[in-house]
A = this chain, B = another copy of it.
Amino acid sequence: MTRWEPNARGRLEEAALELFGERGFEQTTVEDIAKRAGLTKRTFFRYFGDKREVLFAGGEEFQGLFVTGLASAPASAKPMEAVAVTLEAVSAWFRGRHDRARQRQRIIVANAELQERELVKLASVAAVLAGALRDRGVAEPAASVTAETAIALFRNAFERWVAEDGERELADVVRESLDTLRAVTATG
Contacts and interface: CB of A to CB of B under 8 A. Distances in A.
Interface stretch (A42-50, A62-70, A141-149): A141-149
Contact of A79 (B160, B182, B184): B184
A168 interface: no
Interface stretch (A13-21, A28-36, A98-106, A117-125): A117-125
Given A119-B116, A120-B119, A148 B142 contact: no
A78 interface: yes
Contacts of A185: 80, 149, 181-182, 185-186
A134 interface: no
A171 interface: no
A185 B184 CA distance: 10
A183 interface: yes
A9 interface: no
A99 B105 CA distance: 39
A152 to B, nearest CB: 4
A136 to B, nearest CB: 13
Given A115-B120, A116-B116, A116-B119, A80 B152 contact: no
Interface of A: 78-80, 112, 115-117, 119-120, 123, 141-142, 144-146, 148-149, 151-153, 155-156, 159-160, 176-177, 180-187
